[in-house]
Structure 1
Amino acid sequence: MLDDRKLDVLRAIVTDYVSSQEPVGSRALVERHDLGVSPATVRNDMAVLEEEGYITQPHTSAGRIPTDKGYRLFVDRLGSVKPLSVAERRAIQTFLSGAMDLDDVLSRTVRLLAQVTQQVAIVQYPTLSHATVRHVEIVSLSTQRLMLVLISSTGRVEQRLLEVAQVDEEEIGSLRALLNEAVVGQTTGEAVRTLSGLVADATMIDIVQSPAARAIAASTTARLAAATLLEMLGSDRSSRVVVGGVQNLGRFSDEFETTVKPVLEALEEQVVLLKLLGEVSAPDVVTVRIGQENPYEQLQSTSVVSTGYGSPADAWATLGIVGPTRMDYPSTMASVRAVARYVSRFLTQG
């Protein structure tokens, strides 16, 4: 274990290298940081840090730079994620406040994350099995065209057009009430089972049907609406991710061992991105994977900072950033956590 002084030296090296992009020497550390020791002592501490694998010397007679192991220790010893400023929090809230539906929320979120961190942002679609049905709406567009709208607790809004025989407002109202009574307040899985049972019962004329099943059986429009809603409930987009800020990698082309191309190719694979974000963690728990800790060789010159978003008791999905290992970890971790908090609040209260 390193003593506090050597940890202070490592912290100073990481901070200066992230800021300057240049290897850090002992004299510069003494000049810029109040370490309370002589340059000779700092050189001795740096020698120990290098021997232990926390820093390395990229060139002869050059200063030192952190290794993956050094960044790992730096992140682990942060203690807590620093809070954002009032201005930063207000900017995040303003950016998300105009979102209309889930697609819009995630599109804004990925742009916001890329902008505030200057890294590549990744946001996973919510796992709908964790959501509940908030409301089902049926809107009459004409006498023979309806719009079926599904709204979930995750903020998901999905719409489908229905071509029907002529239908009046009274029938639409009855159908709206029927569907809402059947599924509102249920999880997606529960709603699928309930609606599947009603649709199945509606086809069984030789058994005693429930009033809801009889209503579905008696109307072509009701059967179509129920079948369409069932299809909407069954479509889980949690295997999808949204990516933004890929152009930010261009600023760090010299950070990668060969070229940025393998990184870009890996970021095009949805399966890779989902595994890169890792298992959904609880909101407010920020996970950092550095360099060689990443499971894909093409991405082992990058770091991934991620967290879950959702309700405190149930994370729906994950969001995060991908960037070079030389990044401002405290600020990036704070930004990822803050954006996740605002997305969770927006979807819960929206």
Structure 2
Amino acid sequence: MHVPDGFINAPVSVAAGVVAAGAVAVSLRGARRELGGTSQAEGFGGERAAPLAGLVAAFIFAVQMLNFPVAAGTSGHLLGGALAAILVGPYTGVLCVSVVLLMQGVLFADGGLTALGVNVVNMAVVTVVVAYAIFRGLLKLLPDTRRSVTAAAFAGALFSVPGAAVMFSLFYALGGTTDVPFDKVFGAMVGVHVLIGIGEAAITAATVGAVLAVRPDLVHGARGLAAPLKLRVGGVLVDAPAAAPAPVAVAARSPRKLWAAGLVTALVLAGFVSFYASSSPDGLEKVAADKGIDQKVTEHAAAGSPLADYSVKDVGDARLSGGLAGVIGVGATVVVGTGIFWTVRRRRAEDLTAASTASSAV
């Protein structure tokens, strides 16, 4: 759903940029709390959350390269807002997706630079808000189990995609550069993105479930989850007696193995599996071509980038060119993302230190 330059007029694009900048600013403040925690009881100190957030951004970048078919001549790809919000928190989730969109726009000419604000609002802000609201609401109603977290993740992701489609339609109603009626754009966008939402939900639930299976303490949305330990007694599973709190050394075990596995997975997806992704236009591209809202699209400012269109310039082999571009993209995203999140975490630590010093002085 990367909106190119020329779909939305300049005034609305500027206004969307202002909204996006405000959302990012709010998210930076919120992410300080999500990334700056030091409670070992929660098992999610900021010193580990920051690199994991960078990994989440890189993983979203990689999976967004894997377009999957959803209907005749149409494909979809992960937006990632739901996944990021559930794994690392809603404020950090907005930043994760925003980093991905920035890297895609600047390095790969994917998503217009003048439309960056529109894309951040659609794909980062709206998806996170819709998904996390549904996710938290369902967790209040469902049993306190890992299956409930996975089911709530599925539902949140499912509705986040058509939510972003609705937001794009509203942007088009306010500043579309063509005369296509709003109702036609709205119906087509929501219709196809409901189908794409099913793929988003499946990917999100599978990823969240996989992390829950090995390190539930690292899933932001599963904090406080306390599924009882089961013991087999006489061939029957029964709840084990309540155990004493885990020692700090256990709760604080390093997430390096998970981080390494996640990075390798992202590199494989972007560097190899992406070659087999669907070549059909995604939902927005298909609607734009069918309804004629792409009549005034303009060339991307970074069209001459050596990585434009997810290929490396002067590398003739398509498989190698696309794979190298994907690997470079994952590497750049994890470096930039981790750098940003480390900076946010350190700022939080400095604020806490300053507050503690002032309190001691009093």
TM > 0.5: no
> Greater strand share, 1 or 2?
1
The structure richer in helix per residue is 2
Structure showing greater radius of gyration is 1
For Structure 1 versus Structure 2, the TM-score category normalised by the shorter chain is under 0.3
Which structure's relative contact order is higher, taking Cα pairs within 8 Å and 6+ residues apart? 2
- TM normalised by structure 2 equals 0.23
